[in-house]
């Protein structure tokens, strides 16, 4: 008896290649995929604003990259002995105002240059729930930013009474995404966009509310993707919720997909979205990565020296065959 109905995503008509660049933005699931892409030597820029969940913050950040927005002190506020930005993850927060701004602006400048010439943008939407500023003037600190009603990307542990929580409507999400895409295609006419919905369950919102949130995101995305040649949908959410469909594929919090689930989705992503020459190269890179993970019993032995030499020759050969990939780290490791 078969207790599992496997779901195989439809292959993309146009696939990702090692020759191409990818910008990934969105929820923490984005970083799982981004880490694996970088591990396989793809040129990737990941979450220049840090982790983002709601579609308004995601579209706002991409629009800021397009316009090469420069942030100043009026965009920051002081809370918990740090300077923070409502549009950025707390990894940019800093006790020194200038260092906070420097980190934000350097990241945006890099994102602007990268997005101008990138081939793929992957957007992972996490939740249709958004938090809007309620009474920003009551936020403590010598500098206050934001306006009443602004959607924030991160609450930075500011007390909850300073925000209103709302479930974005499908039309709101669709309009925000469409406006961003219109600007994006003017900025980079050849870019291709992959949408995914994060399989992370936002159960703090409630079971029913989480499903309403995911449904709004899915419907809005498919309204865009269904009739566009340069837009794609990868069903990460469906693979975890409907294919794996078991709590054993979640971490202890029962919210985040675990290592096995993430690898399962990754394997499906590779098969559906990455071209065959790149898949072949990924297998060779995996061999090198496995060799780097090897812990020698005796690092000074002749056997280990031969092991290093063999792998260095393998890396040098790959480097000659694929000059567009940087293998310098691997060369240093095996020397």
Nearest Cα neighbor of 327 from 295, 291, 277 is 291
* Domain finish residue from 242, 274, 306: 274
In which domain, by residue range, is 139 found?
Answer: 21-274
Considering the domain boundaries, does residue 15 fall inside one?
no
In sequence order, what are the beta bridge partners of 279?
A: none
221 in a structural domain: yes
CA 128 – CA 108 distance, rounded (Å): 24
Residues near 167 by beta carbon (within 8 Å), at least 6 away in sequence: 128, 129, 130, 209, 212, 213, 216
Domain assignment present for residue 99? The answer is: yes
Domain match, 262 and 292 both: no
Q: Residue 11 domain-assigned?
A: no
Answer yes or no: do 219 and 118 share one domain: yes
The pLDDT of residue 1 is: 64
Which of 238, 255, 274 is where one domain is finished?
A: 274
Q: Of the candidates 274, 307, 323, which is a domain's last residue? A: 274
Do 307 and 207 share a structural domain?
A: no
Query: What is the rounded CA–CA span in Å between residue 139 and residue 215?
Result: 34
Is the domain of 266 the same as that of 120?
A: yes
CA–CA separation, 283 and 285 (whole Å): 5
pLDDT of residue 144: 53
Rounded Cα gap, residues 328 and 312, in angstroms: 11
Q: Are 209 and 326 in the same domain?
A: no
Could you tell me if 32 and 145 lie in one domain?
Answer: yes
Picking from 177, 175, 167, 165, the residue whose alpha carbon sits closest to that of residue 212 is: 167
Distance CA 193, CA 105 (A): 24
pLDDT of residue 138: 47
**Judgement on whether residues 289 and 258 belong to the same structural domain of the protein:** no
Q: Is 80 contained in some domain?
A: yes
- Per-residue pLDDT, 135: 62
Predicted pLDDT of residue 147: 73
User: How many Cα atoms are found within 13 Å in the side-chain-facing hemisphere of 295?
Assistant: 0
**CA 189 vs CA 115, 193, 295: distances in Å:** 11, 11, 47
Asked whether residue 309 is domain-assigned, the answer is: yes
59 lies in some domain = yes
Same-domain check for residues 212 and 181: yes
> pLDDT of the chain along its 335 residues, tens only?
677 788 899 999 999 999 999 999 999 888 899 999 999 999 999 999 999 999 999 999 999 999 999 999 999 999 989 999 999 999 999 999 999 999 999 999 999 999 999 999 999 999 999 999 986 554 554 445 667 789 999 999 998 888 999 999 999 999 999 999 999 999 999 999 999 999 999 998 999 999 999 999 999 999 999 989 999 999 999 999 999 999 899 999 999 999 999 999 999 999 999 999 999 999 999 999 999 988 888 888 999 889 999 999 999 999 999 999 999 999 999 98
Phi-psi region of 35 (alpha: psi -120 to 50; beta: other; left: phi over 0): alpha
Quote the number of domains for the chain: 2
CATH number of the domain bearing residue 188: 3.40.50.1110
Calpha distance 209→213 (Å, rounded): 6
Residues 172, 230, single domain; the answer is yes
Q: 256 with 311, same domain? A: no
Query: Can you give the pTM of this predicted structure?
Result: 0.93
Per-residue H/E/C for the chain: CCCCCCCCCCCCCCCECCCCEEEEEECHHHHHHHHHHHHCCCEEEECCCCCCCCHHHHHHHHHHHHCCCCCCHHHEEEECCEEEECCCCHHHCECCHHHHHHHHHHHHHHHHHHHHHCCEEEEEECCCEEEEECCHHHCCCCCCCCCCCCEECCCCCCCHHHEEEEECCHHHHHHHHHHHHHHHHHHCCCCEEEEEECCCCCHHHCHHHHHHHHHHHHHHHHHHHCCCCCEEECCHHHHHHHHHCCHHHECCCCCCECHHHHHHHHHHHHHHHECHHHHHHHHHHHHHHHHHHCCCCCCCCHHHHHHHHHHHHHHHHHHHHCCCCCCHHHHHHHC
Same domain, 48 and 177: yes
183 and 154 in a common domain: yes
Domain-located, residue 180: yes
């Amino acid at each position: 008896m078969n207790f599992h109905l496997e779901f195989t995503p439809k292959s993309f008509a146009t696939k990702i290649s090692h020759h191409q660049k990818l910008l990934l933005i969105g929820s923490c699931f984005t970083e799982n995929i981004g880490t694996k892409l970088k591990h396989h030597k793809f040129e990737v820029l990941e979450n220049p604003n840090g982790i983002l969940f709601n579609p308004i913050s995601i579209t706002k950040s991409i629009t800021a990259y397009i316009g090469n927005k420069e942030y100043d002190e009026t965009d920051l506020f002081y809370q918990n002995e740090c300077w923070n930005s409502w549009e950025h993850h707390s990894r940019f927060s800093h006790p020194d105002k200038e260092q906070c701004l420097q980190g934000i602006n350097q990241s945006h400048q890099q994102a602007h240059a990268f997005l101008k010439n990138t081939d793929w943008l992957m957007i992972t939407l996490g939740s249709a729930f958004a938090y809007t500023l309620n009474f920003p003037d009551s936020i403590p600190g010598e500098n206050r930013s934001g306006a009443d009603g602004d959607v924030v990307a991160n609450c930075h542990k500011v007390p909850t009474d300073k925000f209103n929580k709302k479930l974005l409507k499908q039309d709101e999400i669709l309009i925000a995404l469409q406006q961003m895409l219109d600007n994006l295609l003017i900025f980079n006419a050849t870019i291709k966009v992959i949408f995914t919905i994060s399989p992370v369950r936002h159960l703090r919102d409630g079971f029913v509310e989480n499903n309403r949130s995911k449904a709004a995101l899915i419907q809005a995305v498919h309204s865009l993707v269904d009739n566009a040649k340069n837009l794609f949908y990868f069903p990460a959410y469906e693979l975890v919720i409907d294919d794996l469909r078991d709590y054993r594929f979640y971490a202890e919090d029962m919210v985040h997909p675990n290592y096995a689930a993430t690898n399962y989705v990754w394997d499906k992503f590779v098969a559906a979205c990455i071209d065959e020459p790149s898949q072949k190269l990924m297998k060779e890179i995996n061999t090198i990565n496995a060799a780097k993970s090897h812990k020698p019993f005796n690092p000074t032995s002749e056997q280990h020296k031969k092991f290093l030499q063999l792998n260095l020759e393998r890396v040098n050969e790959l480097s000659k065959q694929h000059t567009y990939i940087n293998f310098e780290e691997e060369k240093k490791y095996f020397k």
